[in-house]
Chains A and B, each alone.
Chain A
Amino acid sequence: MIEQPKNFGFGEDETMLRDSAKKFFSDHCSADKIHRQVAGNPDIHRNIECIWDKGLWQQITELGWTAACVPEAAGGIGMPLVAALALAEEAGRAAFPSPLISTFNTTFVLRECYSAAANDVLAEIAGGKPMSLAITNQQGSWEPTDTDVNIDNGQLNGNAWFVQDARKAEGLVVSARSAAGVGLYYVATDADGVTIAADGIIDLTRDQAHISFAGVTAIEVAAPGTGDTALAHALPAIQAVIAADMVGAGEWLLQTTVEYTNTRVQFDRPLGFFQAVKHPLVNVMLDIDRAKSLAYSAACAIDSDPERQEWANTVKLAHMAKANASDMAVFASSRAVQFHGGIGFTWECYVHLFFKRQMHNQMLFGDAKYHRAILADMLIGQAA
Chain B
Amino acid sequence: MADADRKDTQEQAEFRAYCRDWLDSNKPGQPPVRIPLGALELSDPAALQWLQVWQKSAFDAGLVGCDYPVEAGGGGRNNCQTIANQEMQRAKTPFFPNIIGLGMAAPTVLFHAQEDTKNALLPRLFSGEDIWCQGFSEPGAGSDLANQQTFAEKRGDSWVINGHKVWTSLAHFANWMILLCRTDKTDKYNGLSYFVVPIQTAIGKGVTVRPLIKLTGETGFNEVIFEDLVVEDKYRLDAVGAGWKVAMTTLSHERGAGQLVTPSAGGMTQENTKGANTSSPSALIELAKTSYRNGKTAADDPLLRDEIIKIMIRQEAFRQNQRRALVPALIDHPMRIPLQNKLIGTEFNQDLAEIAYDIQGAASSLYLNDDNALGGGEWQLAYMNSFGVTIAAGANEVQRNILGERVLGMPKSK
Residues from chain B with a CB closer than 8 A to the CB of A272 are 404, 410-411
Tell me if B312 and A262 are in contact (CB < 8 A).
no
Tell me if A293 and B404 are in contact (CB < 8 A).
no
A-B contact pairs, 25 of them (CB 8 A): A6-B5, A8-B330, A10-B327, A11-B1, A14-B329, A251-B332, A270-B410, A273-B410, A273-B413, A278-B400, A278-B410, A282-B403, A286-B344, A289-B336, A289-B340, A290-B317, A292-B330, A294-B320, A296-B320, A297-B323, A323-B313, A372-B306, A372-B313, A379-B312, A383-B300
Say yes or no: is B285 at the interface (Cβ < 8 Å to chain A). Answer: yes
Interface centre among B306, B310, B411 (most CB of A within 10 A): B411
The A/B interface has a contact count, at CB < 8 Å, of 155
Say yes or no: is A177 at the interface (Cβ < 8 Å to chain B). Answer: no
Given A6-B323, A323-B309, A383-B302, 13 additional A-B pairs, CB 8 A:
A3-B7, A11-B1, A11-B5, A262-B411, A273-B412, A275-B397, A275-B401, A279-B397, A290-B314, A292-B324, A375-B313, A380-B289, A384-B297
CA distance A316 to B309 in the complex (A): 11
Nearest B residue to A286, CB-CB: B340
Say yes or no: is A258 at the interface (Cβ < 8 Å to chain B). Answer: yes
Tell me if A320 and B329 are in contact (CB < 8 A).
no
Residues from chain A with a CB closer than 8 A to the CB of B285 are 379-380
Nearest B residue to A275, CB-CB: B413
CA distance A346 to B214 in the complex (A): 52
Say yes or no: is B288 at the interface (Cβ < 8 Å to chain A). Answer: yes
Tell me if A273 and B321 are in contact (CB < 8 A).
no
Tell me if B297 and A278 are in contact (CB < 8 A).
no
Say yes or no: is B188 at the interface (Cβ < 8 Å to chain A). Answer: no
Say yes or no: is A23 at the interface (Cβ < 8 Å to chain B). Answer: no
CA distance A340 to B57 in the complex (A): 58
Say yes or no: is A58 at the interface (Cβ < 8 Å to chain B). Answer: no
Residues from chain A with a CB closer than 8 A to the CB of B330 are 7-8, 10, 292, 296
Tell me if A278 and B317 are in contact (CB < 8 A).
no
Residues from chain A with a CB closer than 8 A to the CB of B318 are 290
Scoring A residues 261 to 291 as 1 if CB is less than 8 Å from chain B, else 0, what string do you get?
Answer: 1100000011011110011011101100111
B409's contact among A262, A273, A294, by CB below 8 Å, is which?
A262
Say yes or no: is A317 at the interface (Cβ < 8 Å to chain B). Answer: yes
Say yes or no: is B192 at the interface (Cβ < 8 Å to chain A). Answer: no
A85 CB, min distance to chain B CBs, angstroms: 10
Tell me if B337 and A11 are in contact (CB < 8 A).
no
Residues from chain B with a CB closer than 8 A to the CB of A290 are 313-314, 317-318, 321
A289's contact among B296, B308, B321, B329, by CB below 8 Å, is which?
B321
Tell me if B411 and A273 are in contact (CB < 8 A).
yes
